[in-house]
Amino acid sequence: MTPTSIHSTCTCRFFHQGQCSCPDVTLFVIDDDSHAAGPFRLQQDGARMTFFYCLNGQARIDAQAADGEAFSEEIGKGNSLLFCLNGGFSISRAGKRIQAVGLQLRPECLRLFACQLGFVHDGLRKSSSRTLKGDIPLHLRILLEQILNCRDDGLLRDVFLAHKKYELLYQQIELLDRENSHKCVSPAECRAAHRAYAILLQDIGKPPSLPELAAAVGVNRTRLTALFRMLFEDTVFGILRRERLECARRLLNEKGKNITEIAYLCGFSSPSHLTKAFSAQFGISPKQYQIARRHGHPAAPVSCGEQHT
């Protein structure tokens, strides 16, 4: 709750107060009333779904997405931006003044809202570089102005902003719900998809077939495939493949296991099948990876969760 000074003429305050079923909700307020030339930068690390609202001035957001690609987006007065990046990002002043409010929460928290409300918004999917840009509705702008113009100090300010933080979250989620009512996934279907996900990964060496998995959760296989694409942005087979590759990568780090043993433990039909899939995903063969790790070579692939499959 301690205010953080980013620049002598620009302050950015973070407010984490409050406990609810959706933890780690953060409100930040940027108020730069300087007219000095040159941008300022705000660095926030960690994977967060971010709603950014520009009330005055113009800002540029720069980052590097999880897939290594550069991300850059400009936003002006009266515009909002929804984005999620696995890593830090900077907010730069594109002009001489900026007043903005930001709301951050973990992607899984926002997807929980999607399940409970029965919608799947494009911005809530797993792709880390996805962005949504639009105008700030009047009712949100009024709320944002109240946050920006709060003149209370100390505990009274903290209480006010903690309240407004959740009011802003409610208004934004309700807006997404309204905009995406045509992309409905019922709460029951969402629960079924998550049960299927858990069942699928119980034994990646001998997983159930798609018809068996669908029957286990009471959804037909066509709908289950669609639910996986909407909620997890991958097919049932794609998720299984990713987990098998991640399992193989972990086992390759251990001593005493050969490629053949690892292939069958992770559910691959043959060592050559593992080699082909591993090389396509990571750009290095399992054997090369194993040798590199044994010799402490730094050039090693990242986890499957950090790659797009």
**Of 296, 259, 299, which Cα lies nearest the Cα of 283?**
299
List the domain boundaries for the chain: 4-179, 187-306
Selection from 2-16, 58-72, 155-169 with the highest mean pLDDT: 155-169
Q: Which CATH class is domain 187-306?
A: mainly alpha
Query: pLDDT tens digits for 189-232?
Result: 889 999 999 999 999 988 999 999 999 999 999 899 988 887 88
CATH 3.20.10.10 for domain 4-179: no
Compute the average pLDDT of residues 72-90: 80
Q: What is the pLDDT of residue 87?
A: 60
Radius of gyration of the chain (CA): 23
**Percent of the chain's residues with pLDDT above 70:** 69
DSSP state of 305: G
Residue 278 has pLDDT above 80, yes or no: yes
The number of residues in the chain equals 309
Separation CA 79–CA 60 (nearest Å): 12
Mean pLDDT computed over 48-56 = 87
pTM across the whole model: 0.54
Across 91-101, average pLDDT = 80
Q: Which amino acid is at 264?
A: Y
Task: Give the model's confidence band at 240: pLDDT under 50 very low, under 70 low, under 90 confident, else very high.
Answer: very high
Q: How far apart are CA 294 and CA 247, in angstroms?
A: 18
In sequence order, the 6+-apart residues with CB closer than 8 A to the CB of 118 are 184, 185, 186, 187, 190
Q: Closest Cα to residue 228, out of 257, 195, 258?
A: 195
Instruction: Tell me if residue 65 falls in helix, strand or coil.
Output: coil
Bridge partners (DSSP) listed for residue 104: 26, 50
Point out the least confidently predicted range of 74-83, 134-143, 241-250, 292-301: 292-301
Query: Which range has the worst mean pLDDT, 8-22, 95-109, 146-160?
Result: 8-22
Average model confidence (pLDDT) across the chain: 77
> Measured between alpha carbons, how far is 28 from 105 in angstroms, rounded to an integer?
12
**CA 47 to chain centroid:** 6
- Residue 47 is inside which H or E element, if any? strand 47-64
- Residue 88 near residue 41 (C-beta atoms within 8 A): no
Mean pLDDT of 40-47: 56
Measured between alpha carbons, how far is residue 4 from residues 12, 13, 33, 117, 180 in Å? 6, 6, 16, 35, 36
Most confident option among 10-14, 31-35, 259-263: 259-263
